[in-house]
Amino acid sequence: MALGPFYLPSEADADRALRFKVNLNYVQSLSWHILDEYGPEEALLSNVLTAQRSLPGFQRIRDGSDIDLDALSRLLRISWASELQLRLGQTGDVETLRYSNMWAPVHAYYAIYMSMQAWFTANKVSQLVDNHSGSLRTISNHVTQRGLFPTPWAATAYGCPQLGQVNYRGLPQNVDPNAKFEVLSTPSHDTYWPRFCTLLRTTRERRLERNFRVWKESNHRKNMKQAEKIKVSDKLADTTIFDFFWRLRVRSNYKDVSSFLTWSVPVEDHADFRRGLIRIVDCTCTLLEALIVKAGLGVVRDETATEFLSLSDESSSAISSFVSKRQHVLSSTA
């Protein structure tokens, strides 16, 4: 019997597969933790919202007035369209996932980003944060100062990791953020928090590396003193889950496209990566939409959802059903 062709990964392919595995483990660990914390699956969104609505910061939100309702509706539609694109990848041939997964972090980020912008519009701060850096800074403040999100969205990192001076906020008691674990190991309950803290720390490192380069260019310097690095890091807002999604979006779209396309990653891993992103995005956008509803704009949200769903045909209605499901959960848990 003749043997079919086989593929022997190169050293570069193996390295790309390892980089994908690290990101897969981050996403899968976070997805599993959310399910473990707020599950079962059928009650996940309701339980996440219950946790959010118990927060004093959430309860202090007041009805908005003089809101640009057209802008709010437009931003929600873009967010849902991006999330729909993320979910479409699950409906095709599993063998094509490696190609669609290259864009999955982009769709995931923009689903969250546009929901953030919709919340900023409802909160009347949209004109101040019409860029990614400003939006990430503002949502960080809403996490740390206003306390609008439950764990794990409430967890943040601050300080200067490059100097070994990183600290965390919003962690449960008795969590050791520096506990040893292997980033390539299968995610587990015991390794969740140290893995998540590593996610925050390394994300902050990447942002600061860029900020350090900008500082050196503007000051015509090749090196920085310790005090100068601390000063730059102090200006950077706490690093959040939202920063990680920005990092993942840039990595998949610009800096490390090949790790999402490599044949060395099993299709099952690509499927797990997509499923993890969908669950995290679903919960995150639900939390952001809950803020909009709390601001007295639930009717606008519902009208926009009805219009969005009316555009679906039979082939896409099942995929877009997350909008109506979220609408039901938001109204039933209010």
Q: Is the pLDDT of residue 216 over 90?
A: yes
Who wins on pLDDT, 286 or 297?
286
CB distance 75 to 121 below 8 Å: yes
CB distance 98 to 270 below 8 Å: yes
**What pLDDT score was predicted for residue 184?**
92
Q: Is 214 exposed, middle or buried (0-12, 13-18, 19+ CB in 10 A)?
A: exposed
**Taking residues 240-268, what's their average pLDDT?**
81
Per-residue pLDDT tens for 63-77? Answer: 877 888 999 999 999
**What pLDDT score was predicted for residue 229?**
97
**What pLDDT score was predicted for residue 8?**
59
**What pLDDT score was predicted for residue 129?**
60
Distance (Å, whole) CA 232 – CA 213: 11
Per-residue pLDDT tens for 92-121? Answer: 666 777 778 888 999 999 999 999 999 999
**What pLDDT score was predicted for residue 194?**
97
Q: Tokens 């292997």 label which residue?
A: 182
Task: Please list the helix, strand and coil fractions of the chain in percent, rounded to the nearest 5, in that order.
Answer: 70, 5, 30
Distance (Å, whole) CA 277 – CA 75: 20
Q: Is the pLDDT of residue 333 over 90?
A: no
The predicted model scores a pTM of 0.92
Nearest to 204 by CA among 224, 229, 173, 170: 229
Q: How many CA atoms lie within 13 A of 48 on its CB side?
A: 33
101: left (phi over 0), alpha (psi -120 to 50) or beta: alpha
Q: Which residues contact 220 (CB under 8 A, 6 or more apart)?
A: none
pLDDT, averaged across the chain: 89
* Beta bridge partners of residue 239, listed in sequence order: 157
Q: Is the pLDDT of residue 1 over 50?
A: no
Distance (Å, whole) CA 320 – CA 300: 18
Per-residue pLDDT tens for 143-156? Answer: 999 999 999 999 99
Q: What are phi and psi of 266, to 5 degrees?
A: -60, 150
Peptide bond into 40 cis (omega under 30): yes
Peptide bond into 152 cis (omega under 30): yes
Nearest to 297 by CA among 126, 83, 174, 120: 120
Element housing 246 (H / E): helix 241-250
Element housing 227 (H / E): helix 226-235
Distance (Å, whole) CA 314 – CA 305: 17
Element housing 158 (H / E): strand 156-160
Q: Structural domain boundaries of the chain?
A: 29-155+240-332
